[in-house]
Amino acid sequence: MKTCRETMEFLRAYVDGDLPDGERAIFERHLESCPPCVAYLDSYRATIALARDACGSDEVPRPPDELVRAILDARKGRE
């Protein structure tokens, strides 16, 4: 079983449908037993929907990978 932090590292690929079957199964098993991660996933999807509405398009610009890594690294430093 992966931790919440490890599971959330795969969130973007999961939502995009790009997560390989084995990793997707592990992700979904975690979700079955973790209501906080389900809530986080729901809020992530809602954020995507709001961004699409705000942009007036289904194309939501993806943040640069470097920015995502920097944010995740900064969060690690606070915990």
Task: Return the DSSP state at 49.
Answer: H
Average confidence (pLDDT) over 14-33: 91
Answer yes or no: are the C-beta atoms of 11 and 44 closer than 8 Å.
yes
The reported pTM is 0.64
- Assess whether pLDDT exceeds 80 at residue 77: no
Taking the C-alpha atoms of residue 78 and residue 11, their distance in angstroms, rounded to an integer, is 21
Q: Which long-range contacts (CB under 8 A, 24 or more apart) does 6-9 make?
A: 7/31, 7/34, 7/37, 8/37, 8/40, 9/72
